[in-house]
Amino acid sequence: MPSYILRVWVPDRPGALGSVASRIGAVRGDLVGIDILERGGGRAIDELVVELPDESLVDLLISEVSQVDGVDVEDVRMAPEAATDPRLDALETAASLVAHAEVGSLLDALARRSLLDFQSDWVAVVDLDSSSPVVTVGSTPEPTWLGAFVTGSRSSGTSVAESGPDDVAWADMDAAGLVVVLGRKGRPFRARERRQLTALARIVDHRWAELHTRAGRLAHPSALSF
The neighbour count for residue 158, using CB atoms within 10 Å, is 11
pLDDT given at position 85: 72
pLDDT tens digits, one per residue of 8-21: 999 999 899 999 99
Domain endpoint, select from 48, 78, 108: 78
In the predicted structure, residue 220 carries a pLDDT above the cut 50: no
pLDDT given at position 226: 42
Which stretches does DSSP call E strand in the chain? 3-11, 30-40, 43-51, 72-78, 122-127, 132-138, 168-173, 178-183
Whether residue 8 is found in the same domain as residue 119: no
Whether residue 61 is found in the same domain as residue 173: no
pLDDT given at position 163: 52
Q: How far apart are CA 103 and CA 212, in angstroms?
A: 8
Q: Judge whether 135 lies within some domain.
A: yes
Residues of the chain above pLDDT 70, percent: 88
- Strand, coil or helix: what is 134? strand
Using an 8 Å Cβ cutoff, are 180 and 72 in contact?
Answer: no
In the predicted structure, residue 216 carries a pLDDT above the cut 70: no
Domain endpoint, select from 56, 78, 100: 78
pLDDT tens digits, one per residue of 138-194: 999 999 999 999 888 887 655 454 556 788 999 999 999 999 999 998 888 988 899
Q: Smallest Cα–Cα separation from 171: which of 131, 142, 203? A: 203
The least confident of 3-7, 41-45, 88-92, 215-219 is: 215-219
Q: How far apart are CA 184 and CA 190, in angstroms?
A: 12
Average the pLDDT over 31-60 and give the result.
92
Whether residue 24 is found in the same domain as residue 58: yes
Whether residue 45 is found in the same domain as residue 68: yes
Whether residue 16 is found in the same domain as residue 71: yes
Q: How far apart are CA 22 and CA 19, in angstroms?
A: 5
- Per the model's pLDDT, the better-predicted residue between 106 and 222 turns out to be 106
**Banded pLDDT at 83 (limits 50, 70, 90):** low
Q: How far apart are CA 48 and CA 67, in angstroms?
A: 16
The whole domain housing 186 covers 86-219
